[in-house]
């Protein structure tokens, strides 16, 4: 064989040996995409499909509970991401969404630690509170403070 094909064969062999396992965790172990169901479940197609349906239904119930908690008291977003984590045990799309979310949250946390950004956020918060206070003051000056139980029916 010639030198060019030998080098190309080495590159192909090296590419076959490289396996992308996804991001490396803090413990140094990478985790690939795909189902995390036990092997005996994956071995039987009907059982694996039932497993996936069960994971989807449980994840859907948790996400729905989180959506209900958004306008009501409760940790809505935390519960929604918990449901996504349940889905991510079985579905690649949910794993990719969680990876993207983790990356964006980490980037936002790093930006929030920047002194210039913190100063800007403090200034904007104080400005917002001053505007709200001014609007509330004008309302109270114009209409006064009337408690709901003292409102007369007309």
Predicted confidence at residue 24, as pLDDT, reads 44
Question: What are the structure tokens assigned to 70, written together?
Answer: 């958004």
One domain, residues 48 and 102 = yes
Number of domains in the chain: 2
Q: Phi/psi of residue 24, each to 5°?
A: -85, 130
Predicted confidence at residue 124, as pLDDT, reads 95
Instruction: Of 130, 56, 126, give the one whose Cα is nearest residue 94.
Output: 56
| Other Cβ atoms closer than 10 A to 34 | 12
One domain, residues 107 and 35 = yes
Question: What are the structure tokens assigned to 53, written together?
Answer: 């349906």
Query: Which of residues 82, 98, 113 is at a domain's end?
Result: 113
One domain, residues 53 and 66 = yes
One domain, residues 128 and 147 = yes
pTM of the entire predicted model: 0.51
* pLDDT mean values, one per 10 residues, the chain (154 residues): 46 38 44 72 79 90 92 88 89 89 89 86 95 93 76 61
One domain, residues 89 and 51 = yes
Q: Under 8 Å CB-to-CB from 70, ≥6 apart: which residues?
A: 76, 77
The domain in which residue 142 lies consists of: 115-154
One domain, residues 101 and 140 = no
One domain, residues 139 and 109 = no
**How open is the CA angle 43-45-49, to the nearest 5 degrees?**
120
One domain, residues 12 and 76 = yes
One domain, residues 124 and 87 = no
One domain, residues 63 and 108 = yes
Instruction: Of 38, 66, 70, give the one whose Cα is nearest residue 54.
Output: 38
One domain, residues 87 and 137 = no
Residue 79 in contact with residue 93, Cβ under 8 Å? no
One domain, residues 49 and 91 = yes
DSSP 148: G
């Amino acid at each position: 064989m010639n030198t060019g094909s030998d080098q190309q064969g080495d590159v192909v062999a090296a590419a076959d040996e490289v396996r992308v396992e996804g991001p490396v965790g803090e413990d140094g172990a990478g985790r690939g995409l795909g189902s995390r169901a036990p092997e005996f479940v994956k071995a039987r197609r009907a059982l694996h499909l039932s497993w996936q349906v069960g994971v989807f239904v449980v994840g859907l119930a948790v996400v729905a509970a989180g959506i209900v908690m958004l306008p009501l008291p409760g940790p809505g977003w935390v519960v929604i991401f918990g449901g996504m984590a349940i889905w991510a045990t079985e579905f690649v799309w949910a794993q990719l969404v969680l990876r993207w979310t983790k990356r964006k949250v980490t980037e936002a946390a790093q930006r929030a630690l920047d002194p210039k950004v913190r100063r800007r956020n403090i200034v904007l918060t104080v400005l917002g509170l001053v505007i709200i206070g001014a609007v509330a003051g004008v309302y109270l000056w114009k209409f006064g403070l009337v408690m709901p139980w003292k409102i007369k029916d007309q």
